[in-house]
């Protein structure tokens, strides 16, 4: 499919490319996306977990990611002790110091939160400024700290695994005193989807199977642990377990199928 971009979307493409690289923990300066993608970091060679061609394909399509100044994945005053302790546990493994004092990436990587601003809807219709400016990632749309979804995602590329530390706020109530099943499903979809995207590039959820084993208390912190089951062509199969913080109690388990898409799919191409 050939996509011809309106001039005003090209800046957004640059922005999206930069956004992708920030998600991967790297910086990219304006204009060097195609030429310097393999040398964009002072820390070493960039190794994207999916093929470079798919990134190039994405880079010529109008799906701009935009980073807001606030990173919702960083600790805030609403985080309880379990949330902070687990954050520190994984965050301390994101960067390690060598014997000669040099800092290197560790096995884990914290993913910053992001807001994506899609300018076009299915059929290539340009979204109104009002819709664009009001659109929020579902899990980040409650402004009050601690009221909704407080979470941070860490990925481990070596083990093709990811963990999410999630503290469920009071606005997520389902059964009295416990978390709504839809809120749990939302987190599972978000984290498995993020993991599949990290491993395979842009995907959409095709299938999600969830078994609820024991309720989650409102206000508590749980761990979502996701692993890659297999990849078959466009299909990425991910499984997920939701447990208490020391993994001794299983709350929920799920499997998901994610299908790789092109941006044309979202634009109705």
Distance CA 13, CA 10 (A): 5
The set of long-range contacts for 41-44, using a CB threshold of 8 Å and a minimum separation of 24, is 43/104, 43/105, 44/105
**Nearest-approach distance from CB 248 to ligand PKZ, in angstroms:** 28
Q: Closest CB to ligand PKZ among 115 and 244?
A: 115
Q: Closest CB to ligand PKZ among 12 and 193?
A: 193
- The residue whose Cβ lies closest to ligand PKZ is 193
Residue 52 Rama label (left phi>0; alpha psi -120 to 50; beta) = alpha
Helix (H) or strand (E) holding 213: none
Closest CA to 228 of 267, 204, 198: 198
**Nearest-approach distance from CB 111 to ligand PKZ, in angstroms:** 6
Question: What sign does the dihedral 19-21-25-26 (CA atoms) show?
Answer: negative
Judge whether 189 counts as a catalytic residue: yes
Q: Closest CB to ligand PKZ among 80 and 182?
A: 182
Q: Closest CB to ligand PKZ among 225 and 247?
A: 225
Distance CA 266, CA 5 (A): 15
64: Cβ contacts below 8 Å, ≥ 6 apart: 9, 12, 13, 15, 16, 19, 116, 117, 118, 119
Q: Closest CB to ligand PKZ among 87 and 151?
A: 151
Residues that bind ligand PKZ (CB under 6 A): 20, 23, 111, 189-190, 193-194, 197-198, 204-207, 235, 257, 259, 261, 265
In Å, how far are 37, 187, 200, 208 from 193, measured between CA atoms? 24, 9, 10, 10
Catalytic residue among 71, 82, 99, 189: 189
- The most distant pair of C-alpha atoms in the chain lies apart, rounded to whole Å, by 55
DSSP-based three-state secondary structure for 1: coil
**Nearest-approach distance from CB 66 to ligand PKZ, in angstroms:** 13
**Nearest-approach distance from CB 138 to ligand PKZ, in angstroms:** 8
**Nearest-approach distance from CB 59 to ligand PKZ, in angstroms:** 11
Give catalytic residue positions: 189
């Amino acid at each position: 499919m050939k996509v011809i971009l309106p001039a005003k979307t090209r800046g957004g493409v640059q922005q999206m490319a930069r956004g992708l690289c920030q998600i991967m923990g790297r910086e990219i300066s304006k204009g060097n996306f195609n030429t310097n993608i393999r040398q964009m970091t002072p820390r070493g060679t960039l190794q994207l977990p999916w093929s470079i061609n798919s990134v190039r394909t994405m880079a010529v399509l109008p799906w701009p990611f935009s980073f807001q100044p606030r990173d919702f994945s960083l600790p805030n005053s609403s985080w309880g002790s379990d949330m902070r302790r687990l954050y520190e546990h994984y965050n301390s493994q994101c960067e390690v110091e060598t014997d000669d004092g040099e800092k290197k990436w560790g096995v884990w990587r914290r993913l910053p939160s992001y807001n994506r601003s899609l300018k076009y809807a299915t059929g290539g219709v340009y979204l109104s400024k009002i819709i664009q400016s009001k659109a929020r990632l579902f899990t980040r749309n409650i402004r009050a700290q601690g009221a909704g979804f407080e979470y941070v995602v860490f990925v481990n590329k070596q083990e093709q695994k990811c963990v999410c530390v999630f503290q469920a706020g009071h606005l997520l109530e389902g059964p009295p005193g416990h978390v709504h099943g839809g809120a749990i499903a939302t987190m599972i979809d978000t984290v498995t989807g993020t993991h599949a995207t990290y491993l395979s590039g842009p995907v959409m959820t095709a299938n999600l199977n969830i078994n609820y084993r024991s309720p989650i208390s409102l206000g508590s912190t749980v761990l979502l642990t996701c692993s890659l089951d297999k990849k078959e062509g466009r299909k990425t199969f991910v499984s997920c377990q939701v447990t208490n913080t020391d993994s001794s109690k299983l709350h929920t388990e799920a499997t998901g199928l994610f299908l790789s898409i092109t941006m044309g799919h979202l634009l109705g191409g």
